[in-house]
């Protein structure tokens, strides 16, 4: 069943190019327009949406956090991302013009289900992004957009995360198309970029041995920090979550811009810090800001492990280790940058002799509150 891999998690990491490709499959018509057949919500309702709230837990919430950057950019609709268990208990502002997007691999997470019910009672339409057919949350939603990642067995989510980002991006592009925020050729070109991702994800996986070797050499570390900015920020949060749940190591993700507002005090000699570096070709000089962060933490003794784009010569000068990923548009980089972090957590847990498919205290689907 593990298809020759040591663990389901390893297999599912290797499944990721397919998870993304299959989630993209069959979403355009002969004219190249995006069609989301399963999204049975009246177009007039979708045109009138003035706010999107993504509700989810854990890794699924981080995929929503990534999608927020893309959907706001493409559609100019404000997007909030809220942990499902926080959403229901804070009297959220939700009405008929709110589109709630519930993201869940299992489709059974009780916190997310309760939030879906609450949102619908307030008159919101709910689209769920779900991996498991026949589960409860899609049944209780107005519409469902399935991720086609295939069954995810390992407790720690990997391929579902990439498929969730892909599906949320499709939803964002669909809304942009419907509401006229983007020209058809812009949408077509963004879809082409997305369709190019499985090949690039495969490249990152093929480079995994260097990540594994690095993880093995760090099996005695007890605290790891992760920094990212823009879409790299939720990637940092996800990298930290993977390490906590698999290797039982204290790990924390930060927005790189927050460093000087506190977390830099954590840095001392030898402290491992992962940094997700934005593309040097991206806008707003984000790249140079993150490179400065690397210099700042390195000057204070950090051991910097950097995820950077092929050809990023600037980073090479300042990083202790670089995990290279292929070039991609900024908004698509999370689909690549998270992969070395997944492999790192898996390899480090394995080096510690832990069961990566079944970490202690955790269940695959959390059907209690
Ligand atoms: C982390 C992980 C959990 C789930 C969360 C939501 O690796 O697996 O954080 O992402 O429990 O589960 P679903 O997506 O089934 O609602």
Q: Give tens-digit pLDDT for 210-233.
A: 999 999 999 999 999 999 999 999
pLDDT higher than 90, residue 332 = yes
Ligand 1 pocket member 138 (CB < 6 A): no
Please confirm, yes or no, whether 242 is among the known catalytic residues: no
Q: Average pLDDT for residues 41-56, to the nearest whole number? A: 94
Q: What is the Cα–Cα distance from 267 to 298, expressed in whole angstroms?
A: 9
Q: Which residue CA neighbors atom 16 of ligand 1 most closely?
A: 104
Which percentage of the chain shows pLDDT scores above 90?
Answer: 86
Q: Give tens-digit pLDDT for 122-131.
A: 999 999 999 9
Distance 57 CA to ligand 1 centre (A): 6
Give the per-residue pLDDT at 198.
Answer: 98
Distance 58 CA to ligand 1 centre (A): 5
Contacts of residue 32, Cβ cutoff 8 Å, sequence gap at least 6: 184, 188
Complex ipTM > 0.90: yes
Ligand 1 pocket member 63 (CB < 6 A): no
Q: What is the Cα–Cα distance from 332 to 89, expressed in whole angstroms?
A: 33
Q: What pTM was computed for the model?
A: 0.97
Q: Give tens-digit pLDDT for 116-157.
A: 999 999 999 999 999 999 999 999 999 999 999 999 999 999
Give the chain's length.
Answer: 369
Contacts of residue 238, Cβ cutoff 8 Å, sequence gap at least 6: 59, 62, 161, 253, 338, 341
Ligand 1 pocket member 58 (CB < 6 A): yes
Substitution site in 152, 157, 168 for ligand 1 pocket (most atoms within 8 Å of beta carbon)? 157
Structure tokens at 355: 């069961």
């Amino acid at each position: 069943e593990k298809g020759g891999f040591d663990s389901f998690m390893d297999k599912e990491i290797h499944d990721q190019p397919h998870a993304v490709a299959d989630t993209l499959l069959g979403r355009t018509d002969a004219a190249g327009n995006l069609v989301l057949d399963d999204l049975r919500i009246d177009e007039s309702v979708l045109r009138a949406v003035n706010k999107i709230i993504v509700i989810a837990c854990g890794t699924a919430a981080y995929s929503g956090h990534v999608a927020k950057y893309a959907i706001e950019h493409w559609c100019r609709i404000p997007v909030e991302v809220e942990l499902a268990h926080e959403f229901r208990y804070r009297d959220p502002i939700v009405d008929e013009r709110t589109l709630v997007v519930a993201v869940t691999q299992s489709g059974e997470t009780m916190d997310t289900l309760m939030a879906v019910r609450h949102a619908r009672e307030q008159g919101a339409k709910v689209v769920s992004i779900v991996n498991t057919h026949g589960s409860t949350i899609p049944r209780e939603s107005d519409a469902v957009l399935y991720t086609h990642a295939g069954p995810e067995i390992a407790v720690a989510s990997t391929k579902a995360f990439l498929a969730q980002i892909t599906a949320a991006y499709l939803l964002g592009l669909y809304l942009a198309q419907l509401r006229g925020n983007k020209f058809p050729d812009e949408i077509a070109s963004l879809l082409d970029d997305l369709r190019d991702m499985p090949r690039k994800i495969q490249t990152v996986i093929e480079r995994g041995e260097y990540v594994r070797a690095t993880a093995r050499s760090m099996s005695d570390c007890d605290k790891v920090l992760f920094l990212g900015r823009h879409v790299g920020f939720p990637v940092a949060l996800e990298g930290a979550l993977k390490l906590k749940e698999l290797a039982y190591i204290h790990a924390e993700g930060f927005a790189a811009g927050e460093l000087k507002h506190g977390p830099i005090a954590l840095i001392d000699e030898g402290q491992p810090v992962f940094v997700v570096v934005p593309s040097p070709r991206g806008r707003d000089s984000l790249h140079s800001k993150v490179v400065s962060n690397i210099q700042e933490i390195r000057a204070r003794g950090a051991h910097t492990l950097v995820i950077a784009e092929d050809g990023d010569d600037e980073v090479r000068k300042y990083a202790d280790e670089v995990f290279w990923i292929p070039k991609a548009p900024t908004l698509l980089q999370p689909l690549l940058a998270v992969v070395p972090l997944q492999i790192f957590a898996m390899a480090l847990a394995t080096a510690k002799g832990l069961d990566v498919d079944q970490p202690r205290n955790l269940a695959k689907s959390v059907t209690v509150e």
